[in-house]
């Protein structure tokens, strides 16, 4: 039986149907379309759920609603972190403070110079976990959790532009630059954390060149510390990016030897004499250089800072 005959028979059946049956078919058609639409929505939700379950976030974090920035869970031995869908949080290229030991405590991010009111954007797509004010710490800050497994923290804002549980895209404005909290000048304190543990942002972000270091960063717990040292040398204060060809084992040995040769940390008395100066409130680099018969450039070179670095009371500077 050819198609033409089948079509004629179907038309004949509809034609001889009672009017009530035809009305029933007509009424059923929109319901069928609606059910197909619902099925499509459910299918998309199922697919989205499967993708989320396969993402690093689902594997690394069990708790979403904790109120702490540094709530630590077990670090994986290694994790491939996707950096492709990124945006630089600020167009500023000037880093004023490195990740690592600073003034006897651990500085867990990078400080990037900016002006009050400058726009700060999300580094990756993700979901805002914390929007709070911490007067003795971050000031006004935002924490975002990302599908690649990282959390990014943005501190000392003058204004927050997002709310908790809000979904954001990479490059979407989340706040304005400022100097709230424990801060002596307008800057962005930027952190990258994995399972609550602070990682050196210079491992992934090259602020001088306004780019990430690659499409991916492979975190390895066994080599992280050595890699962080190299990243600071390449992309920290005064760094201008570059290829990393360092032998990490050799670098670690050199660092250990240098540390063994270094004298104990300067005492309070040494801070005022013997080549060290303790910064007082209101002092400038020019005033310090003049006091000790040296130059601003010499102090900057010895301390790996720039003439524009904001000095903080109590900071120890070497001048010879």
Give tens-digit pLDDT for 142-171.
Answer: 999 999 999 999 999 999 999 999 999 999
126 pLDDT higher than 80:
yes
Of 260, 288, 307, the last residue of a domain is 260
Q: Does residue 203 sit in the same domain as residue 273?
A: no
Residue 157, domain extent: 78-260
Write the DSSP string, 264-286: PPP-HHHHHSTTEEEPPTT--HH
- All residues at 6 or more sequence positions from 178 whose CB lies less than 8 Å from its CB, including other chains: 116, 117, 139, 140, 156, 157, 158, 159, 186
Are residue 181 and residue 159 in the same domain, yes or no? yes
Task: Give the predicted TM-score (pTM) of the model.
Answer: 0.61
294-316 core/surface letters (b: 16 or more CB in 10 A; e: else): eebeebbeebebbeebbbeeebb
pLDDT band at 73 (very low <50, low <70, confident <90, very high): confident
Residue 128 lies in a domain: yes
CA distance 102 to 108: 10
pLDDT band per the 50, 70, 90 thresholds, residue 21: low
pLDDT confidence bin for 203, thresholds 50/70/90: very high
Residue 274 and residue 210 in one domain = no
pLDDT of residue 31: 54
- Out of 260, 285, 301, a domain closes at 260
Is 297 found in the same domain as 223?
Answer: no
Which pLDDT score, from 0 to 100, does residue 100 have? 82
Q: How many domains does the chain have?
A: 2
Domain-located, residue 245: yes
Sign of CA dihedral 169, 171, 177, 183: positive
- What proportion of the chain, given as a percentage, has pLDDT over 70? 71
Q: Give the per-residue pLDDT at 269.
A: 42
């Amino acid at each position: 039986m050819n198609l033409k005959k089948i079509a004629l028979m179907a038309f004949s059946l509809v034609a001889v149907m009672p009017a009530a049956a035809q009305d029933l078919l007509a009424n059923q058609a929109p319901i069928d379309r609606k059910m197909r639409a619902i099925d499509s929505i459910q299918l998309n939700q199922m697919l989205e759920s499967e993708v989320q379950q396969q993402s690093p976030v689902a594997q690394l974090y069990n708790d979403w609603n904790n109120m702490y920035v540094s709530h630590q869970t077990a670090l994986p031995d290694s994790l491939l972190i996707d950096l492709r869908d990124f945006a630089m949080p600020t167009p500023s290229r000037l880093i004023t403070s490195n990740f690592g030991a600073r003034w006897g405590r651990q500085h867990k991010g990078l400080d990037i110079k900016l002006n009050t009111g400058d726009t700060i954007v999300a580094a990756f797509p993700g979901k805002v976990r914390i929007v709070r004010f911490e007067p003795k710490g971050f000031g006004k800050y935002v924490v975002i959790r990302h599908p690649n497994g990282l959390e990014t923290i943005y501190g000392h804002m003058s204004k927050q532009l997002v709310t908790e549980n809000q979904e954001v895209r990479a490059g979407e404005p989340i706040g304005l630059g400022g100097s709230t909290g424990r801060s002596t000048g307008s800057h962005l304190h930027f952190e990258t954390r994995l399972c609550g543990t602070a990682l050196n942002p210079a491992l992934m972000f090259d602020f001088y060149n306004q780019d990430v270091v690659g499409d991916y960063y492979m975190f390895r717990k066994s080599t992280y510390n050595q890699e962080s040292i190299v990243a600071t040398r390449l992309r920290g204060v005064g760094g201008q990016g570059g290829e990393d060809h360092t032998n990490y084992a050799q670098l670690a040995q050199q660092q250990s030897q240098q540390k063994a040769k270094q004298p104990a940390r300067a005492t309070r008395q040494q801070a005022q004499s013997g080549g060290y100066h303790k910064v007082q409130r209101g002092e400038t680099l020019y005033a310090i250089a003049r006091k000790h018969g040296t130059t601003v450039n010499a102090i900057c070179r010895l301390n790996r800072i720039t003439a524009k670095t904001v000095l903080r009371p109590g900071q120890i500077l070497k001048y010879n």
